[in-house]
Chains A and B, each alone.
Chain A
Amino acid sequence: MDFQLIVDSLPFLLKGAVLTIQVTVIALVAGIVLGTLLALARLSPIKPLSWLATAYIELIRGTPLLVQIFLIYFGLPQVTGINLDPFPAGVLAFSLNSAAYVAEIMRSGIQGVPRGQTEASLSLGFSPRDTMRYIVLPQAFRRVLPPLVNESLNLLKNTSLLSSIALVELTRAGQIVAARSYKPFEMYLGIALVYLAMTMVLSFLSSRVEKRWGAGERR
């Protein structure tokens, strides 16, 4: 066992980890924004809009993420002539993918806010749109924090799939070192630990937020 290898290659691995974090953060923010819009579209009384959102969500959830990545990285240039570098292609694929999952999370969160909240807001004179903005969505976000954290953990770990389109994120970085050193066990154990460290930080941060948001809301 050569654990010195992990230590020696750590700077290289951490460079990859930075890319992993970048893809995760950008895709998560985009996913939450797009996903919330998709959830609102799906709950909309305008039927075609609702159908369109449902179709998109089913399409994304029903196909493998790796295939979606390949479609964007290899397939898009063929039909549009636009060549995307691995990084923007990866960010795009993960944003579109996480939007669908976040949409379903947000939909259940919005539907979980009691009807009385909407009625109280309408009775004060707020429009349906302002009711969504000031009353329903802020409560929905608090409710969906745990499943949203779950989605971000999945997102973070799934970015390892981007190693397949030659983006030197954490997993790809590990593969390179493993191939050079012929020490795959140490190397993959090493990158597993780096992933674990990142997910633990994320879990810790989210539990802090949850506590703070929950503080005023004891029922």
Chain B
Amino acid sequence: MSTADLSAQNLSAQKLTAGKEVPVSSEPIIEIQNLNKWYGQHHVLKDVNMQVLPGQKVVVVGPSGSGKSTLIRCINRLEEFQQGDIVVNGHRLTEARNLPLVRREVGMVFQSFNLFPHMSVLENVTLAPRKLRGLSEADARARAAALLERVGIAEQAAKFPGQLSGGQQQRVAIARALAMQPQVMLFDEPTSALDPEVVGEVLDVMRGLAQEGMTMIVVTHEMGFAREVADRVVFMDRGELLEDLPPAEFFGAPRLERTQNFLSRVLNH
């Protein structure tokens, strides 16, 4: 609780000093309560608690196998969990009928893009708004065109995913998720499968999204991005959420030895 309050204050301070005011409601849009998950005997999430306020950017870091991907995959229940609850925008995930509702409001971007290979870029971006939001073909196309423009690949709309580079595919994937006009975006290691030279173009799109005030939870190994964009950095290790700090504190003065060890490994290579 205290860390969430602290970071909320920190956030509003940041926004004011930056000269643009983003309305920050004090009601969390995501609330994770005592979350526990097991794979058989293996306890992969241990009593995780976390709150995210609207407009916040939370970057989740930690060694591989720490449970950070599993955690964000629980937020739209692509992963089942055995104990605890997650409330998204007032909807409890443990009530099955809320699930489609929540998923429409929570966009997700995957490490391996997962674009639909049998559809053109345009169809990838228009399918869900047409079928799930009831947009007409023309409206869906207009929305898709604007989004593809925004992620810098308007001229590729007629191509198929297999004809694009990894960086382009991931930008289409971001556009596809945004086309549902979600309130929250989840990024599950969005740049880990990319060639180094195209990582920047995807991070740029994410930065832009952050500046527009999108609520974001990002699992990543990009420490530069975390330092620059995050309101809070969350550190996970062996299924536990160990730190939840503003980036300056997290990188400058981490409290725990495990965090220090992790940071020295990822920052000094």
Chain A positions within 8 Å of B, measured between CB atoms, are 114, 116-117, 119-127, 130, 134-135, 138-139, 142, 216-219
Interface positions, chain B 135-194, Cβ under 8 Å from A, are: 160, 162-163, 173, 176-177, 180
Which residues of A sit under 8 angstroms from B110, Cβ to Cβ?
A: 116, 119-120
Instruction: Chain A residues near B256: list those with CB within 8 A.
Output: none
B18 contacts A by Cβ under 8 Å: no
Other-chain contact of B132, A124, A139, A217 (Cβ < 8 Å): A124
Q: Which of chain A's residues have a CB closer than 8 A to the CB of B131? A: 126, 130, 134
- Looking across the interface, which residue of chain B has its beta carbon closest to that of A138? B118
Residue of A nearest to B127 (CB): A134
Q: Shortest distance in angstroms between B158's beta carbon and chain A's nearest beta carbon?
A: 10
Interface size on B, residues (CB 8 A): 28
Closest to A219 in B: B162
- Tell me if B162 and A123 are in contact (CB < 8 A): no
Using a CB–CB distance below 8 Å, which chain B residues touch chain A? 76, 78, 100-101, 103-104, 106-108, 110, 112, 114-118, 120, 127-128, 131-132, 160, 162-163, 173, 176-177, 180
A interface, over-half SS: helix
28 A/B residue pairs, CB under 8 Å, sorted by A: A116-B114, A119-B110, A120-B110, A120-B115, A120-B116, A122-B76, A122-B78, A122-B103, A123-B76, A123-B107, A123-B108, A124-B103, A124-B104, A124-B107, A124-B127, A124-B176, A124-B177, A125-B101, A125-B103, A125-B104, A126-B131, A126-B132, A134-B127, A139-B118, A216-B118, A217-B160, A217-B162, A218-B163
CB neighbours of B173 from chain A (8 A): 120
Closest 6 CB pairs of A and B: A125-B104, A216-B160, A120-B114, A116-B114, A123-B108, A124-B128
Give the complex CA separation of A122 and B114 in angstroms.
12
A117-B114 CB under 8 A given contacts A123-B103, A124-B180: yes
Which residues of the partner chain A approach B118 to less than 8 Å between Cβ atoms? 138-139, 142, 216-217
**A135 partner residues in chain B, CB cutoff 8 A:** 116
A122 to B80, CA, bound (A): 13
A219-B118 Cα distance, complex, nearest whole Å: 11
- A219-B117 in contact given A119-B110, A124-B103, A127-B100 (Cβ < 8 Å): yes
Contact indicator B76/A139 (Cβ below 8 Å): no
Residues of B near A121 (CB, < 8 A) are 116
Residue on B with the closest CB to A216? B160
